[in-house]
Amino acid sequence: MSGSAHNNSHPEYEDVSNNLRQYTGMRFAQMTLFVAITGGLVSMLKDGSPFSWLWVIIGVFGVISGGIFWVLEERSVDYWHHFMRRALELEKELGYRQYTGRPKRDYVSATNATRLLHAILIVFWIGLIWPD
């Protein structure tokens, strides 16, 4: 980093930006792990007959993992929003606009898409346990 760029930096703003990147990366890592676990559970279904105890056990693990990863996603998003609010406050003080001018989200968002995925998969697993 050049001397002039370093002199214009603000340690808390840099830290907040790093935290935003970290929680964004964490969300993608969590999703990757969730998809891998879900895929592994689905692949195990071929080893049992429909509605057997094996399917029930796999379904229970599916519901539990879906719930766990949904909570992890919500907490990551909460922290991301916390750091985004702080970044916006700092930008007002510092005259920066990196986050201030970002596109606004609406109902069509990554967070809502992830919530929908979790909900669909939890319903899938519940349907596997209780087919009637």
Tokens of 39: 């895929």
Span 59-96, pLDDT tens digits: 999 999 999 999 999 999 999 999 999 999 999 999 99
CB-count burial class (<10 Å; 0-12, 13-18, 19+) for 65: buried
What is the domain range of residue 46? 8-129
Which residue did the predictor score with more confidence, 7 or 77?
A: 77
pLDDT of amino acid 131: 66
Please, what is the end-to-end C-alpha distance for the chain in angstroms?
A: 63
pLDDT of amino acid 33: 98
pTM for this entry: 0.85
Residue 81 lies inside a defined structural domain of this protein: yes
Residue 54 lies inside a defined structural domain of this protein: yes
Estimate the share of the chain in helix, then strand, then coil, as percent rounded to the nearest 5. Answer: 80, 0, 20
Residue 30 lies inside a defined structural domain of this protein: yes
Residue 15 lies inside a defined structural domain of this protein: yes
Q: How far apart are the C-alpha atoms of 66 and 127, rounded to whole Å? A: 14
pLDDT of amino acid 130: 83
Residue 1 lies inside a defined structural domain of this protein: no
What is the number of domains present in the chain?
1
